[in-house]
Amino acid sequence: MRYKAQLEIEKEKRAFNERYELVKTINRNLERVKNAYKTLRDTGHMPSDILVVRNETLLLSETDMDLQLHQALLTEKFHDLLKKRYELVRHIWDKNKDWDTFIKEWDLLNENIQKEMKTTFFRLG
């Protein structure tokens, strides 16, 4: 019985760590794409570290797949926040969109993600 309880605790820890790393990775990838789109808007050139094939930003496509594949692991709260951030950056490539409004929405979502991370991953006591 004790072994089963310990096994469950270890499974929960593993899922917890996987969730934390996945949230960090997705958030970091979305930030990279956002910065690449900013460079594209400012200079007319996409940075060489962001691959684009047939007008598709591969890192953004991979991030969307991660969001779909790991929805259950992320939990509803993280998935919804990250999906909103994904949708926001996916639509900003258009130069006619207002960058300042985009940044305000982007930063607000980031604040919400950071709050949720502190609540979920860094509970005290």
How far apart are the C-alpha atoms of 42 and 28, rounded to whole Å?
A: 21
Task: Report pTM.
Answer: 0.84
Task: Give bridge partners of residue 53 from the DSSP assignment.
Answer: 56
How far apart are the C-alpha atoms of 45 and 23, rounded to whole Å?
A: 29
**Other residues' Cβ atoms within 10 Å of the Cβ of residue 59:** 17
Question: What confidence tens digit (pLDDT) does each residue in 41-97 have?
Answer: 889 898 999 988 887 899 999 999 999 999 999 989 899 999 999 999 988 866 567
123 has a pLDDT exceeding 60: no
How far separated are the first and last CA of the chain, in Å rounded?
27
| Sequence spans of domains, the chain | 1-122
